[in-house]
Amino acid sequence: MPKNTKYVDKIPAFYRRDTLDLLLFAHITAMRERSGMTIQAAVDDFFELYGISEDDYPVETALVTYNRIYHNFVYTKIKT
């Protein structure tokens, strides 16, 4: 694997995540803040909105991905 250049090392890991993961995180966060949905309901809404099936992206994977990004983001903000 090639070595990262200096400026890439300074970009937080949050921004280097997969686009679909970031869309999922943003959608769930917005739906929870705006309408008080549960995480599961927000994931279901995300799948319906973007036409994603369980075969393409398992719900369990989406939940784990959301929780990882959420905890990374929260703990990073607390430490800084």
Q: What are 47-60's pLDDT values in tens digits? A: 999 999 999 899 99
pLDDT band at 80 (very low <50, low <70, confident <90, very high): low
Residue 6 lies in a domain: no
Per-residue confidence at 9, pLDDT binned at 50, 70, 90? low
Specify if 11 maps to a domain. no
Domain hosting 52: range is 16-79
SS3 (DSSP) at 80: coil
Residue labelled with tokens 């992206």: 57
Query: What is the pLDDT at residue 2?
Result: 53
Query: In total, how many domains does the chain have?
Result: 1
Long-range contacts of 29-38 (CB under 8 A, 24+ apart): 29/70
Calculate mean pLDDT across residues 58-76: 89
User: Measured between alpha carbons, how far is 38 from 42 in angstroms, rounded to an integer?
Assistant: 6
Domain membership flag for residue 21: yes
